[in-house]
Structure 1
Amino acid sequence: MTTFKDRSDVFADLGTKLSIAAVFETLLDGDIPIRFSAYDGSAIGPEDSEFALDVKTPRGINYLATAPGDLGMARAYISGDMTATGVHPGDPYEILRAMDGLKFHRPSALALVTIARSLGWERLRPIAPPPQETLPRWRRIALEGLRHSKTRDAEAIHHHYDVSNTFYEYVLGPSMTYTCAVYEDEQWTLEQAQENKYRLVFDKLRLKEGDRLLDIGCGWGGMVRYAAKRGVKVIGATLSAEQAEWAQQKIAEQGLSELAEVRHSDYRDIPEADFDAVSSIGLTEHIGVHNYPFYFEYIQSKLREGGLLLNHSITRPDNLRSTKAGDFIDRYVFPDGELIGSGRIISEIQNVGLEVVHEENLREHYALTLHEWCKNLVTNWDACVEEVGEGTAKVWGLYMAGCRLGFQRNVVQLHQVLGVKLGSNGESGLPLRPWWNG
């Protein structure tokens, strides 16, 4: 990307009127690496670009002008007011990769005057976003309470997970597993890798027939059923009513009801204790970093002496950045989601008295997983659109393709951390070396 050029010449005359493409250019730091065109016939960017964005309506311009950056772009794209050519909406990875590094900035007061003269002042008045967008953080406080209260957590989970079980079946495949798979080989199928993930968690936790497992944030019960099939007694908890209903039905169909149960419940409301192991696969992202002490203390209280915790979660590559998700992710995908580095997670686990015995980064495995989910979305695109609508299907394609790029570029990582609750004499009862394969 080239350095943003001084555009004082454009704004020197307040009577200047810009084309839509020129307005778009004023919001960018640097040149646009793909073709951009608009309904007024203007265009910028390389004419021979493989990819193009085309703003079709004045509403699309309103979205771009009032929220420069990923949120405005997402609004215009999801609403259908801006189209992308050269990619399938179920997997816009290639155009996102081509645009990687594109930076927006808010225009100066002088630039705003020129933009308003060019587009009309009505284009700078905020309008209703697409219906897939949730409220901004400050409005959620008034309606749903403070972040990570039980009420607000339940609403956040409902927004993301209670879309449609049928839709998730199309995207996730037969395993209905919405967490990072673990690949032995890049040629493995998604189902092989998801089964391998459950095998890895099961083995790390040293589970055996007759043991008791608590799986918090259990989703559609993949880990619950995997462990129950091997004779483990399992309680799973999820805040999604649709997930719990689907999981309970599968447990019954597979004859596992005597060993397995998935409850529609906040994990904080599980009364049982003295578990041999606790698995938390993809839940820490929803907890809130300031709640980590309570979260891991709760887990510690649920374990017997010698019991094991496996925490599997998305992380940042360092422990310094803001923990809040970006605007698009927060408003369309994971409301109130927060991430921090694995070092912070390890410290919090240690601070409640658990001993960390192993951790590993599966970052590249998640990029492979997301690629497979996008392929499923593309393959089942028409059925997905019929099930949830085109706008929601586009949200998922944009989100998953963007996350794939993020994992490839080391913007985010995926860590598994294994901890043990020591006995009163400080003994763990564990083998001296890792006891699992892979």
Structure 2
Amino acid sequence: MTQRTSTMNLAEAFSTLLAGELPFRFTAYDGSSAGPADAPFGIDLRNERGLSYLVSAPGDLGLARAYVQGDLHLVGAHPGDPFEALMLVKGNQHGLKFRRPSPAEAVALLRAVGLSRLKPPPVPPQEHLPRWRRVMEGMLHSPERDAEVIHHHYDVSNRFYEMVLGPSMTYTCALFPTEETTLDDAQFAKYDLVCRKLGLRPGMRLLDVGCGWGGMVRHAVQHYGVTALGVTLSAEQASWGQERIKELRLDDRAEVRHMDYREVVESGFDAVSSIGLTEHIGVGNYPAYFGFLRSKLRPHGRLLNHCITRPHNQKTHTGAFIDRYVFPDGELTGSGRIITEAQDAGLEVQHEENLRPHYARTLAGWNRNLVAHWDECVAEVGEATARVWGLYMAGSRMGFETNEIQLHQVLATRTDDRGGSGYPLRHDWVG
């Protein structure tokens, strides 16, 4: 009688790859489990498709595919806010650390998984093409390509964004003057800080590039008496923003256009604001970007650039999950690179500020809103898309909390032909 050869179960296979103790409970569809039974969070691998996602795309991408499809479940975490679970699973101090298996272990792992699992299942419909395919099919950051990317991310559902972002309809880092400040008040404070840094006064003209749903445009017109033009590549944002402007009877002084910022023909603006656009344009395009914004300013005009940055000045792509599901073609670099490119374009940098902890708080607020409106959000966009957003916002919050990413505002001026900036001896917006 032939003796049957034993093989690893899935929990044993998973544990074999770890360096150190498992910080959470792992369970799998074959009935196996590993890790502390009393752990506050756990990972439940529910089916063979989920296993195929994990082994065919090791790392963030495979985990994201299985999670988005519902094949991988975070036990003890709400899908609208899995932040605490992610910190345990991937946090810098106590998260998972993998090791390279020995040849014998690799053979045993392959037997446990099965060769058939190495073939990747169809990817979730929310996933974008890989970066190499995008490069092959057309130049990144062309107007046409950027329009496609913005449509992918922002034209989800205005109702969905209303539930997640709250009344401000602002999808950028807020400013929290105190621990008790609400998310909506913090967005008001952010816009007000930008207006003060730009030195806005009644009668001035403002250009807001990448204006989203027009929050900056409305704030500047309502509270500072300017005339403002906002431009966005999202048709849904432009429609919502222009409708809101008309509801507030601001359309004699405010406008949101559906267009690429590079197509703006007006010039001589007193101020230009760019809040959350730079992440989308590509680091290689910074010279043209800052040069174009400078050309839209009158002498002594001010530019405020607000964007996500790295804590170093190398160019980096976003991670695989962010690139495929959230911000295709996104690139980040440090505030030093932002300042250098602005200076090389002929702008005089007057001030820079890091708002990193404020973005972590902003994302926490968005996650809370998603949890509070979970059933409505799922009904609006489907559970898979809602899961993408919960995971993305919680993961981004983790990045800000652990200083993997930052948020910088850079204030600059256009000097006149004699080198004058029109900027006061001391900052006139502090206080």
TM tier relative to shorter chain? over 0.9
1:76 matched residue in structure 2: 66
Which segment drifts farther, 170-179 or 27-36? 27-36
What is the letter of the counterpart of residue 245 of structure 1?
A: S
Aligned match for 1:63, one of 46, 53, 67? 53
- With normalisation by structure 2, the TM-score equals 0.95
Shift of 1:115: 3.0
2:352 is the counterpart of 1:359? yes
Partner of 1:117: 111
Say if 1:68 and 1:106, in contact at 8 Å, map to a contact too.
no
What is the alpha-carbon distance in structure 1 between the residues aligned to residue 131 and residue 103 of structure 2?
26
Q: Percent identity of the aligned residues?
A: 61
Change (3 A) 1:424 1:170: same
The CA deviation at 1:87 is 1.2
SS at match of 1:147: coil
The corresponding residue for 1:384 is 377
- Displacement of 1:338 in angstroms is 0.7
Partner of 1:11: none
2:393 matches 1:404: no
Distance 1:326 1:32 in 2: 24
Q: Which amino acid aligns with 2:37?
A: E
Q: Secondary structure at the match of 2:331?
A: coil
Distance 2:170 2:101 in 1: 43
Alignment partner, residue 176 of structure 1 = 169
What's 1:10 paired with? none
Distance 2:339 2:105 in 1: 47
Counterpart-to-counterpart distance in 1, 2:210 and 2:101 = 42
Paired with 1:427 and 1:234, the residues of 2 have a C-alpha distance of 25
Aligned counterpart, 2:304 = 310
Secondary structure at the aligned position of 1:403 is classed as helix
SS of the aligned residue for 1:430 comes to coil
**How many residue pairs are counted as aligned between the two chains?**
422
Task: State the SS of the aligned residue for 2:332.
Answer: coil
CA distance in 2, matches of 1:271, 1:244: 18
Are residues 1:253 and 2:243 paired? no
Equivalent position SS for 1:168? helix
> Could you say which residue in structure 2 is the equivalent of 1:7?
none
Residues 147 and 112 of structure 1: is their aligned pair in 2 closer, same or farther, counting only changes over 3 Å?
A: farther
1:261-283 CA distances to partner (integer Å, 9 max, x unpaired)?
A: 11111111111111111000000
Q: CA deviation at 1:185?
A: 0.2
Change in 2 beyond 3 A, CA 1:146/1:166 = same
- Mapping for residues 151-300 of structure 1, pairs under 5 Å: 151-229=144-222, 230-300=224-294
1: CA distance, partners of 2:196 / 2:252 = 22
* Structure 1 residue 287 displacement after superposition: 0.8
Is the 1:158–1:240 contact (alpha carbons within 8 Å) kept by the matching residues of 2? yes
- Give the drift of 1:111: 5.3
Please identify, of 19-28 and 145-154, the stretch whose mean Cα deviation from structure 2 is larger.
19-28
Q: Classify the secondary structure of the residue corresponding to 1:345.
A: helix
1:87 corresponds to which of 77, 91, 94: 77
Q: Give 1:250 shift.
A: 0.4
Counterpart amino acid of residue 249 in structure 1? E
Letter in 2 for 1:375: R
Q: Is the 1:214–1:236 Cα contact (8 Å) retained in structure 2?
A: yes
Provide structure 2 residue ranges, at least 5 long, that are not aligned to the other structure: none
Q: 1:104 to 1:136 in 2, by over 3 A?
A: farther
Larger mean CA deviation between 110-119 and 167-176 belongs to 110-119
Please give the per-residue CA displacement for 1:390-416, whole angstroms capped at 9, x wherever unaligned. 111111111111111111111111000
Match for 1:153: what amino acid? D
Map residues 25-40 of structure 1 onto 2, 5 A cutoff: 25-40=15-30
Tell me the distance in 2 between the aligned counterparts of 1:333 and 1:106: 30
